[in-house]
Amino acid sequence: MKRPVKYDPCRRALLALGASLAVAAGTLGAVTPALAADVTVYKSSSCGCCGAWVEHLRENGFSVTVREQDDLDPVKALLGVPGVLQACHTATVGGYVIEGHVPARDIRRLLDEQPRGIGLAVPGMPVGSPGMEQGGVQEPYQVLLFGAGGVQVFNAY
């Protein structure tokens, strides 16, 4: 006898996200510059700095689609973002993951050079990074390339 399947909206959302990422991964070898500039951002609806980062990307020529959801932990887990590198929003572009307030120029460099890795991260919310410019003196921060080979500095500010 079959057990009835319980409706779980979180599970359905994860399955849908997984399916769309699988389709994107299938086209990774055929990434074109136009396609690579399409960024999907997963963020909380209440986060102002995430919205400012989205504007930073748009001002730098990226086409951005925003997906708002309250719990980003399942997205980060599915995309392979280690806990120590997590920030307030997560994005995908050209087969890579972008975690946190990564400058647009570093995303362009990532797409141009296509290094091995899962993506780039700016852990936390450093003051002076794109979207975090309001108030205070710019904190030094690093953009990190992460993946199966570990973590390495991609750029420093």
Q: In what order do the strands lie in the sheet with 96-100?
A: 63-68, 38-43, 90-93, 96-100, 119-122, 142-147, 150-156
| Averaged pLDDT of the chain | 80
Q: How much is the pTM?
A: 0.76
Report the range out of 22-31, 63-72, 124-133 with the highest average pLDDT: 63-72
Domain boundaries, the chain: 10-25+32-156
Residue 139 pLDDT:
92
For the segment 15-35, what is each residue's pLDDT rounded down to a tens digit? 344 434 443 444 343 334 444
Lowest mean pLDDT among 35-39, 84-88, 102-106, 135-139: 35-39
Among candidate residues 126, 65, 123, the one with its CA nearest the CA of residue 93: 65
Distances (CA, A) of 134 to 48, 101, 125: 11, 13, 12
The residue with greater pLDDT, 25 or 70, is 70
CATH topology of domain 10-25+32-156: Glutaredoxin (3.40.30)
Among candidate residues 143, 36, 153, the one with its CA nearest the CA of residue 96: 36
pLDDT band, residue 128 (cuts 50/70/90): confident
